Amino acid sequence: MLDVAEELNRWVADGRDFAVATVVAVGGSAPRQPGAALAVDSEGTAVGSVSGGCVEGAVYELCRQALADGETVLERFGYSDEDAFAVGLTCGGVIDILVTPVRAADPARPVVAAALAAAARGAAAALARIVTGPAELLGRALLVDADGSHEGGFGAHPELDRTVAAEAAAYLDAGRTGTLEIGEQGSRCGAPLTVLVESSVPPPRLIVFGAIDFASALVRVGKFLGYQVTVCDARPVFATRTRFPEADEIVVEWPHRYLERARVDGRTVLCVLTHDAKFDVPLLRLALRLPVAYVGAMGSRRTHLDRNERLREVGVTELELARLRSPIGLDLGARTPEETALSIAAEIVANRRGGSGVSLTGGHTPIHHDVTSSQAPARRIGSVA
């Protein structure tokens, strides 16, 4: 539900009752991933999506029913071979959806409200809920903050809360959303429970080095993709708010010096558009040694070969050079800044999701093949041997 946190946080502030349907597992070709949610309030207003349209009507009715009877339910939707017009995923996939009421008197509401508030303001938080298990545990929730502290719980065995909190903290550290299996008492004792952990983390960073026209287009595309975008250039005449109104941050500094102190992580994307050796070489020497998701550099093939030689001369290894995406972007035949930005963004998405970059037409590979851990199968913790 944290993917629609901003709107739901307003509903909480207004005192509205609502129900949330959350994707907890997918199989085959499904349009949305675990954590995607559709919420419906007591007036029938809906926000979000669980399937891109395939089963929204049926899920909407499940939410209305959950609001009426207060029951948490788990429902599976899949393709119907007998009736192509039956409720189901015509793309051939299967999704499991957890429908949970969040009403004023429900014990989990304060915990859910705290999770929604954290996600709405961009703070890191992980929300854990029981998907399958005893009826008395369904509908309860546990929230883990960035510092590892937690609130709420399942009202069962204290060790269950401690173990789930520790696992949710690990999910949060990795920015994961997914399920795990754990014994009812948080150990190898008791029947296994399935727990959904939803992580809300600050948006990933896109740092664009080089305040050129191509950078302006890339900033716009980066914002569209949900990145927090920084533009960095040593030349104050180019690195201005007027030229980059959509950027979250504009830094006037030598690129490598800024990168030395910048906050980066395994989701950070670095795009070097300066194609000037005095900027590129010290910057890339550092960038290729950082634990970031993507490092790309603009330039012709001749510039790329020359730059590689310069990088070797300053000690960059072949293994480090292999991380560099250069010339930057996929081969779309791009010419304009906007087309080039699209080419770069396409490569970033392909790198993140494990795509090949080739046309889907005539192919037989899966359309959705995410390399992130959000699609990993349920992790078994403390189940009965």
Dihedral Cα 145, 151, 152, 157, nearest 10 deg: 100
Whole-number Å distance between alpha carbons of 103 and 68: 10
Output the pLDDT for position 221: 96
CB 293 within 8 A of CB 353: no
Amino acid at 343: S
**What is the value of pTM for the model shown?**
0.68
> Could you tell me which residues come within 8 angstroms of residue 266 by beta carbon, excluding any fewer than 6 positions away?
291, 292, 293
If you search the block for the tokens 């927090």, which residue do you land on?
A: 228
What integer pLDDT is reported at residue 90 of this predicted model? 52
Q: Are 341 and 223 in contact (CB under 8 A)?
A: no
Which residues on neighbouring strands pair with residue 102, listed in sequence order?
18
User: Which domains, from first to last, does the chain contain?
Assistant: 1-102 (no CATH), 107-202 (no CATH), 205-353 (3.40.50.720)
Residues 6+ apart with CB under 8 A from 117: 9, 12
Supply the DSSP string of 213-261, one letter for each residue: HHHHHHHHHHHHTT-EEEEEES-TTTS-TTT-TT-SEEEES-HHHHHHH
Helices (H), 109-236: 109-120, 158-174, 213-224
Q: 312-369, pLDDT tens digit by residue?
A: 999 999 999 999 999 999 999 999 999 999 999 999 999 988 888 888 787 766 666 5
Q: How far is CA 131 from CA 99, 135, 322, in A?
A: 9, 10, 42
- The enclosing H or E element of 81 equals none
Residues in the chain with pLDDT < 50? 80-86, 88-89, 372-385
